């Protein structure tokens, strides 16, 4: 039974990531291979990043006689990554699973359901752990200049495995707290969005400052050893791996096993209650108020806006470019002069600065793909839009308007910052004012056209619809692809004046805007009406 449940859980997990749909047709072998390769690539990228970090720490820590600190750092980083990587899954699987009623109605022991969910989380943690454990081991072997004994490697492997239990304990506790906190809130999407944004910003902050942080870590090994040496479990863990100390190994394993056993026992005893508990936001009683009347188009626009803002997956994944653009405008205003001051020394490049920046903000705007999943995201609600007494073109126009109304203000922030910092004049000033809005419109119509041509109503979660769709890929890479010719012309054909390149590009994008918009309003609208 446990095997069947585990297979089902892992299958669902795979489907959520790979974009396998609810439809009966099986995912093609080619698509599965491609997705596996993509996953390997992503894991490889993170692995290389981790190798870069640990290879800089291995030699200085080993030379200073702080081998235990290296392994403590490894344990800490592995634990952090595993907890971050599994806390949301733990929340969804343990406390908010939607299939509890179905599974409990079957002749399955509740214990088996819990065990299958824990094992799934364990597998997720194991994969997250590999991202750190393999590069850390290779970096130590290659850079420390020390001979590692079999006992040390054995302890390394044992701790790498058992630390999964500790991360599960922490993830389960954190997930419980998050679930209790969000269950009483009306706007779960807002909390999810804020948490996701915090993680994302922390990630980018870490990436930008990684090199200086590692250098400072490597330089302050003794200070760090003094601090961390006081934390006994970390010291034991480091010592167990660095010196093959069996006593420290036993203590570390106990630290991993005991909390997990306690949490598992509590979860097992309360699983039935947790699975059947009816949580929900506090009931809001309706108070009759004067109703506002608005036009059909305004109602359609507000519908699109409500859908966009209610889904953290949609908001974060499709609206990320707009957030980056606002952040970019602030960075440009604060650091613009310092960043571009050095270009004034290079006459060949200074004339390209403004056009390249204009194209650059266009490229960032291409990351905003609000319109690209907007048709597919209708999903099982498609019948409502199709039964309304409004032309399909109006519904599509509302989708396009949402895209533009979110992206254009962000784009204008960038344009304003660019004008303040670079102070272009003449043709370049006109182009800085005209091209960005024309390109924003292009990203909108391109995404909508792609989705009308490649709709997919067969998704399981909104995030899956927003992230794993052909339309989003076309919108993203299509808008970036459109920017390649002007970039190439600017750098490769120096005889061409930049204003001429951008003028021709603006005209071409404007023509594409008109053509795509006309297609959406006619053939696209017909397609939308006939979708099922």
Contacts with another protein by CB under 8 A lie at: 186, 280-281, 283-288, 290-296, 298-300, 302-303, 306-307, 310-311, 380-381, 383-384, 386-391, 529-530, 532
**CA angle 302–305–307, rounded 5-degree value:** 110
Q: Measured from the CB atom, is 380 or 423 closer to another protein?
A: 380
- Minimum distance, C-beta of residue 391 to another protein, in the bound complex (Å): 6
Q: Measured from the CB atom, is 295 or 345 closer to another protein?
A: 295
Q: Measured from the CB atom, is 209 or 302 closer to another protein?
A: 302
Q: Measured from the CB atom, is 286 or 348 closer to another protein?
A: 286
What radius of gyration do the chain's Cα atoms show? Answer: 27
Residue 149 phi, psi (nearest 5): -80, 170
Specify the length of the chain in residues.
Answer: 532
- Tokens read off for 361: 């903000």
- Minimum distance, C-beta of residue 22 to another protein, in the bound complex (Å): 14
Render the burial of 440-449: b for 16+ CB within 10 Å, e for the rest: bbbbbbbbbb
**CA angle 127–263–184, rounded 5-degree value:** 90
Type and span of the H or E element at 486: helix 470-492
- Cα dihedral 192, 193, 195, 201, rounded to 10, equals 160
What percent helix, strand, coil does the chain show, rounded to 5?
Answer: 85, 0, 15
Surface-to-core class of residue 322, CB atoms within 10 Å of its CB (0-12 exposed, 13-18 middle, 19+ buried): buried
Cα separation, 25 vs 283, in Å, equals 41
- Minimum distance, C-beta of residue 164 to another protein, in the bound complex (Å): 34
- Minimum distance, C-beta of residue 289 to another protein, in the bound complex (Å): 9
Q: Measured from the CB atom, is 192 or 513 closer to another protein?
A: 192
Q: Measured from the CB atom, is 282 or 492 closer to another protein?
A: 282
Cα separation, 452 vs 529, in Å, equals 11
Cα separation, 472 vs 476, in Å, equals 6
- Minimum distance, C-beta of residue 459 to another protein, in the bound complex (Å): 14
- Minimum distance, C-beta of residue 280 to another protein, in the bound complex (Å): 6
- Minimum distance, C-beta of residue 232 to another protein, in the bound complex (Å): 47
Q: Measured from the CB atom, is 457 or 517 closer to another protein?
A: 457
């Amino acid at each position: 039974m446990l095997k069947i449940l585990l297979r089902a859980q892992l299958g669902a997990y795979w489907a959520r990531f790979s974009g396998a749909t609810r439809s009966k047709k099986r995912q093609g072998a080619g698509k599965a291979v491609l997705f596996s390769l993509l996953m390997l690539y992503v894991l490889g990228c993170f692995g290389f990043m981790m190798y870069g970090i640990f290879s800089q720490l291995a030699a200085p820590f080993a030379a200073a006689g702080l081998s235990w600190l290296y392994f403590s750092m490894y344990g800490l980083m592995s634990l952090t990554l595993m907890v971050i990587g599994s806390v949301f899954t733990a929340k969804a699987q343990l406390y908010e699973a939607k299939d509890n009623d179905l599974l409990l109605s079957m002749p399955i022991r509740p214990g088996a359901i819990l065990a299958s969910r824990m094992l799934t989380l364990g597998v997720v943690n194991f994969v997250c752990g590999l991202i750190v454990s393999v590069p850390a081991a290779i970096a130590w072997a290659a850079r420390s200049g020390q001979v590692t004994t079999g006992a040390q490697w054995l302890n390394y492997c044992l701790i790498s495995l058992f630390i999964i239990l500790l991360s599960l304990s922490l993830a389960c506790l954190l997930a419980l707290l998050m679930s209790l906190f969000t269950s009483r809130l009306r706007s779960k999407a807002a909390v999810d969005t804020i948490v996701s944004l915090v993680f994302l910003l922390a990630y980018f902050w870490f990436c930008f400052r990684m090199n200086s942080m590692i250098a400072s870590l490597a330089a302050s090994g003794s200070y760090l050893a003094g601090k961390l040496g006081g934390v006994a479990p970390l010291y034991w863990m480091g010592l167990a791996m660095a010196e093959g100390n069996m006593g420290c190994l036993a203590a570390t394993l106990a630290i991993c096993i005991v909390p997990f056993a306690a949490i598992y026992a509590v979860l097992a005893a309360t699983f039935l209650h947790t699975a059947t508990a009816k949580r929900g936001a506090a009931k809001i009683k309706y108070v009759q108020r004067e109703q506002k009347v608005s036009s059909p188009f305004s109602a359609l626009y507000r519908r699109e806006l409500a859908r966009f803002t209610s889904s953290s997956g949609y908001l974060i994944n499709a609206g990320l470019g707009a957030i980056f653009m606002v952040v970019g405008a602030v960075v440009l205003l604060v650091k613009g002069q310092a960043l571009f001051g050095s270009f004034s020394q290079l006459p060949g490049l200074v004339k390209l600065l403004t056009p390249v920046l204009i194209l650059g903000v266009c490229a960032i705007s291409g990351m905003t793909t609000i319109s690209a999943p907007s048709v597919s995201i209708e999903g099982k609600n498609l019948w409502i839009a199709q039964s309304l007494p409004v032309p399909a073109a109006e519904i599509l126009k509302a989708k396009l308007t949402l895209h533009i109304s979110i992206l254009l203000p962000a784009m204008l922030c960038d344009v304003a910052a660019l004008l303040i910092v670079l102070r272009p004049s003449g043709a370049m000033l006109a182009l800085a004012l005209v091209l960005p809005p024309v390109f924003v419109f292009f990203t909108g119509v391109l995404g909508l056209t792609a989705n009308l041509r490649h709709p997919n109503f067969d998704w399981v979660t909104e995030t899956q619809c927003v992230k794993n769709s052909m339309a989003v890929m076309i919108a993203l890479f299509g808008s970036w692809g459109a920017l390649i010719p002007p970039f190439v012309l600017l750098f490769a054909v120096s005889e061409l004046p930049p204003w001429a390149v951008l003028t021709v590009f603006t005209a071409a994008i404007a023509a594409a805007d008109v053509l795509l918009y006309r297609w959406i309003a006619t053939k696209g609208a017909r397609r939308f009406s006939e979708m099922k």
